[in-house]
């Protein structure tokens, strides 16, 4: 190699641009090495090491939030660094930290290996962070598949439990199907654009800016339209939007509780992040097509999620189906963001409130779950307020925020989305969303009622068969984490100023 | 008759549709899995055809990524199917329905 080539390589050194992802990936590999090197009695420190590594990465990302790469493309146009990409990085890191905390509660109950779980969570999180900054369909597809394949393993992690394996198989079939649909859509977009020469260099439709230019010039191209619809369908599978939500209840119920939380929060947010990138980047010229599709999907998703959740008696299925309706509210935000630009900030704000509230609820579920992780009937929450006031309080705050009760963060999140939809003149969709919120209050309050109020029984009748005290008493760190989540949910309902300003920058 | 881009695309779309309906209609998990792979492979066929007729190399490079991902997916997927078979002694999809409320 000549010195010139070496100098060119040194000048184009962009590895610092993906520093957080690199640190996370290296730490994930280091965990596996630690497992081999450390003697067995010290293995219990490895989860702590994983959490510390993620906290350090989070701290570094926060300190370096205004990175020098903002607004630039790196790695020959593979990635594009934006403020929302930075927000997504912080979001996914916080989420993975909380998932790791849930894992420290749930995993010791089984005889499964533990280290690999944290390894997979960290690798999947790194892929999500890359996905939220992708600027090329190759990058997008590879990052998305890293996430999906990681989730196949995580969902079926309790491999001695047939329910977990069955959920894994269902997620596998549905995930692979959606990936194939997404890939075919990408191929059609690539084929429609063909060969583009810019400044003497050959470019293709796999690059987002080139595709955006092509669609601006030919918005009626048939192949590109079909490709766009297939790509949207593939992403709708990932976020669980109607009519691609059939896998959600079964997979959420069978998966280990930390993985259910990871699916509900991180996986859904990754889908929404990539949808935002696509509709505001390469597909921006197709607004006349995207608007009606997003609006119809949002309305159907909100209604289906809320109506299907009404009859659920299993806490995990309930969280899954109510999560479908939350995906619907987020789609409403995405549809509004086509015309109202601050709606992107509102979507991220809603995701933040959902992260806090859902993680609080899943934290309570993780402490209550018995030997069989899939068996979490709502009857099990009887007497919770008496057995453990802390858990019942956190549950009430979390569920209340999910329902959107006024002083809590979830209310402000919904309010911002609805105001955005109002400004975007989506009146019908807004009406559907409000009906959805009213329906959701019924099943959310049923859950709170089970935990807080005595159910009247015939004198002398047997106790409710499902009721049992928490199987794992929360540790000091657990109490602190759950308390902080609930506190943040309450505080964010009163003072959203700093975060709101931060999101709209 | 010369074989042009459209011929490749028709074959590719047919294979994709075959795989798609196979996933929806087949009852055996392994057959479903083969249909999923068929969908991925039909996409790579279209990718290579577009790449050849448009005169760009990106599509050919993308195929390597897709093949790697498909291999990883098969490795994980077959492991899950084998583990499930050990527990239930069946891979028929209609017998795998314990997750119902």
Q: Is A308 exposed, middle or buried (0-12, 13-18, 19+ CB in 10 A)?
A: buried
In this structure, the dihedral spanned by the alpha carbons of residues A475, A409, A54 and A272, taken in order and rounded to 10 degrees, is 130
Pair A248, A175: CB distance under 8 Å? no
Q: Is A419 exposed, middle or buried (0-12, 13-18, 19+ CB in 10 A)?
A: middle
Pair A46, A115: CB distance under 8 Å? yes
What residues of A are in contact with residue B62 (Cβ under 8 Å)? 137-138, 141, 190, 206
* Token pair 């959490």: residue: A51
Q: What is the pTM of this model?
A: 0.93
**Is B35's Cβ below 8 Å from some Cβ in A?**
no
Domain residues for B82?
5-94
- What pLDDT does B97 receive? 76
Q: Is residue B18 part of a domain?
A: yes
A206 to B69: CB separation less than 8 angstroms, yes or no: no
For chain A, domain boundaries: 17-455+463-504
DSSP 3-state of A80: strand
Pair A374, A163: CB distance under 8 Å? yes
B54 to A204: CB separation less than 8 angstroms, yes or no: yes
Q: Say which of A195, A206, A314 has its CB closest to residue B62.
A: A206
- Could you tell me the two tokens for A273? 């992040």
What are the pLDDT digits (tens) for B89-99?
A: 888 877 777 77
- Could you tell me the two tokens for A467? 């009721």
Q: Say which of A137, A163, A194 has its CB closest to residue B98.
A: A163
- What pLDDT does A101 receive? 93
Region B12-35 average pLDDT: 93
Q: Say which of B40, B59, B72 has its CB closest to residue A149.
A: B72
- What pLDDT does A388 receive? 84
Q: Is residue B9 part of a domain?
A: yes
Q: What is the mean pLDDT of chain B?
A: 90
Instruction: Give the side-chain half-sphere CA count within 13 A for A494.
Output: 4
A170 to B99: CB separation less than 8 angstroms, yes or no: yes
Q: At what angle do helices A427-452 and A409-423 cross, to 10 degrees?
A: 170
Q: Is residue B78 part of a domain?
A: yes
Q: Say which of A188, A204, A313 has its CB closest to residue B101.
A: A313
Q: Say which of A138, A177, A187 has its CB closest to residue B65.
A: A138
Q: Is residue B57 part of a domain?
A: yes
Rg (CA), chain B: 17
Q: Say which of B29, B54, B101 has its CB closest to residue A194.
A: B54
Task: Please report which helix (H) or strand (E) contains residue A42, including its range.
Answer: none
Q: Is residue B100 part of a domain?
A: no
Q: Is the pLDDT of residue B3 over 90?
A: no
Q: Is residue B101 part of a domain?
A: no
B81 to A169: CB separation less than 8 angstroms, yes or no: yes
CA distance A259 to chain B (A): 16
Cα A469 to Cα A39, A102, A240, A386, A475: the distances in Å are 35, 18, 33, 9, 15
Q: Is residue B50 part of a domain?
A: yes
A-proximal residues of B, 5-34, CB under 8 Å: 9, 16, 19-20, 23, 29, 32-33
What residues of A are in contact with residue B96 (Cβ under 8 Å)? 166, 169
CA distance A473 to chain B (A): 28
Q: Is residue B25 part of a domain?
A: yes
CATH of the domain at B83: 1.10.287.3510
Q: Is the pLDDT of residue B57 over 60?
A: yes
Those residues with Cβ within 8 angstroms of residue A329's Cβ, 6 or more apart along the chain or in another chain: A298, A302, A350, A414, A417, A433, A436
* Token pair 């927000």: residue: A87
Here the contacts of A60-65 (C-beta below 8 Å, separation 24 or greater) are A60/A19, A60/A20, A60/A23, A61/A20, A61/A86, A61/A89, A61/A90, A61/A93, A62/A90, A64/A19, A65/A90
* Token pair 């944290």: residue: A118
Size of interface A-B (CB pairs under 8 A): 128
From the first residue on, what is the mean pLDDT of each consecutive set of 10 residues in chain A (505 residues)? 64 81 94 89 87 94 87 86 92 95 88 89 96 94 95 92 90 93 95 84 86 90 93 92 88 92 94 94 90 94 92 89 93 92 90 94 87 74 81 92 89 92 92 93 88 67 57 83 91 77 60
Region B42-54 average pLDDT: 93
Count of structural domains, chain B: 1
Those residues with Cβ within 8 angstroms of residue A367's Cβ, 6 or more apart along the chain or in another chain: A105, A388, A391, A470, A471, A472, A473, A474, A478
What residues of B are in contact with residue A249 (Cβ under 8 Å)? 99, 101
**Is B59's Cβ below 8 Å from some Cβ in A?**
yes
Cα A128 to Cα A91, A268, A326, A340, A365: the distances in Å are 10, 11, 20, 26, 25
- What pLDDT does A1 receive? 46
CA distance A55 to chain B (A): 29
B83 to A183: CB separation less than 8 angstroms, yes or no: no
ipTM score assigned to the predicted complex: 0.95
A159 to B83: CB separation less than 8 angstroms, yes or no: yes
């Amino acid at each position: 190699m000549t010195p010139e080539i070496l100098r060119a390589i040194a000048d184009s050194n962009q590895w610092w641009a993906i520093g957080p992802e690199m640190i996370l990936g290296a730490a994930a590999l280091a965990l596996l090495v630690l497992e081999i090197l450390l003697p067995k009695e010290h293995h219990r420190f490895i989860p702590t090491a994983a959490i510390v590594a993620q906290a350090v990465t989070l701290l570094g990302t926060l300190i370096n939030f205004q990175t020098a790469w903002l607004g630039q493309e790196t790695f020959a146009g593979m990635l594009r660094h934006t403020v929302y990409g930075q927000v997504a990085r912080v979001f996914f890191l916080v989420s993975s930290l909380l998932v790791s905390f849930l894992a420290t509660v749930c995993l010791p109950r089984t005889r499964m290996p533990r280290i690999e779980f944290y390894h997979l969570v960290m690798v999947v999180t790194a892929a999500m962070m890359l996905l939220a900054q992708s600027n090329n369909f190759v990058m997008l597809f590879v990052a998305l598949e890293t996430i999906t394949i990681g989730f196949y393993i995580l969902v079926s992690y309790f491999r001695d439990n047939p329910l977990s394996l069955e959920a894994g198989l269902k997620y596998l079939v549905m995930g692979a199907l959606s990936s194939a649909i997404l890939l075919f859509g990408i191929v059609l977009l690539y084929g429609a654009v063909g060969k583009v020469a810019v400044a003497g260099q050959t470019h293709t439709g796999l690059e987002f800016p080139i595709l955006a230019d092509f669609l601006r010039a030919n918005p009626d191209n048939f192949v590109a339209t079909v490709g766009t619809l297939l790509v949207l369908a593939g992403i709708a599978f990932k976020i669980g939007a109607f009519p691609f939500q059939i896998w959600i209840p079964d997979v959420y119920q069978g998966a280990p509780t930390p993985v259910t939380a990871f699916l509900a929060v991180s996986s859904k947010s990754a889908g929404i992040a990539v949808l935002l990138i696509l509709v505001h980047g390469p597909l921006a010229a197709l607004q006349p097509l995207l608007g009606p599709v997003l609006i119809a999907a949002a309305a159907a998703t909100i209604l289906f999620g809320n109506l299907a959740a009404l009859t659920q008696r299993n806490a995990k299925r309930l969280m899954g189906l109510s999560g479908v309706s939350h995906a619907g509210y987020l789609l409403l935000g995405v549809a509004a963001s086509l015309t109202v630009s601050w709606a992107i900030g509102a979507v991220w704000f809603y995701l933040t409130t959902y992260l806090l509230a859902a993680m609080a609820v899943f934290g309570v579920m993780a402490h209550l779950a018995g030997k069989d992780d899939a068996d979490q009937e709502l009857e099990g929450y009887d007497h919770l307020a008496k057995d453990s006031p802390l858990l019942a309080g956190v549950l009430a705050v979390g569920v209340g925020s999910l329902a959107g009760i006024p002083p809590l963060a979830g209310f402000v999140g919904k309010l911002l989305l609805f105001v955005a939809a109002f400004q975007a003149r989506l009146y019908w969709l807004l009406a559907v969303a409000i009906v959805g919120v009213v329906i959701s209050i019924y099943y959310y309050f049923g859950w709170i009622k089970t935990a807080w109020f005595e159910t009247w029984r015939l004198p002398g009748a047997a106790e409710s068969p499902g009721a049992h005290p928490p199987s794992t008493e929360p540790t000091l760190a657990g109490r602190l984490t759950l308390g902080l989540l609930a506190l943040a949910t309450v505080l964010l309902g009163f003072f959203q100023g700093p975060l709101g300003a931060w999101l709209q920058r | 008759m010369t074989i042009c881009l459209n011929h490749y695309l028709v074959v590719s779309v047919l294979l994709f549709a075959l795989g798609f309906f196979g996933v929806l209609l087949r009852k055996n998990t392994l057959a479903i899995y083969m249909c999923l792979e068929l969908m991925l492979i039909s996409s790579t066929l279209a990718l290579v055809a577009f790449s050849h007729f448009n005169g760009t190399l990106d599509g050919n490079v993308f195929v390597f990524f897709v093949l790697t991902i498909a291999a990883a997916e098969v490795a994980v997927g077959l492991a899950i199917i084998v583990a499930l078979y050990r527990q239930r002694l069946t891979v028929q999809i209609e017998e795998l329905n314990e997750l119902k409320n």
